[in-house]
């Protein structure tokens, strides 16, 4: 590639685009399986969400798992997911399934019943 060609992108522009992608809010669903109900896990999830600047919600599911939907930039969601996978002192995490969703605007992180 040479400067001015349609496929050439100046390094400063490429870096700005990568930062824009990392800084852009995204929404992800997490379904956590293991010993996660009846032990204060939803409070733990709300606390780690707030610590990481994540907005959304968490709820118990009828199948015994816990579901969370979270919106934040990619780095914040990575930290949030790492904390989910570690779990709280009383939890035992067997698996965390994730899927990307269309961005959803949330103003805070809440526990849903």
Known catalytic residues are 42, 60
Helix or strand holding residue 23 (H, E): helix 11-23
The partner residues of 58 in beta bridges, in order of sequence, read: 68, 111
Structure tokens that stand for 59 in this block? 């709820």
Q: Are 65 and 32 in contact (CB under 8 A)?
A: yes
Nearest alpha carbon to residue 99 among 81, 111, 79:
81
């Amino acid at each position: 590639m040479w400067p001015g060609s349609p496929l050439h992108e100046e390094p400063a522009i490429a870096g700005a685009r990568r930062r824009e992608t990392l800084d852009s809010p995204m929404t992800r669903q997490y379904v956590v399986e293991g010993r996660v109900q009846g032990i204060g896990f939803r409070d733990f999830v709300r606390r780690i969400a707030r610590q990481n600047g994540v907005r959304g919600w968490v709820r118990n599911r009828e199948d015994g798992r816990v579901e969370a939907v979270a919106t934040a930039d990619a780095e914040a969601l990575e930290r949030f997911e790492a904390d989910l996978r570690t779990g709280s002192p009383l939890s035992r995490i067997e698996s965390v399934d994730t899927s990307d969703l269309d961005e959803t605007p949330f103003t805070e992180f809440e526990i849903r019943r």
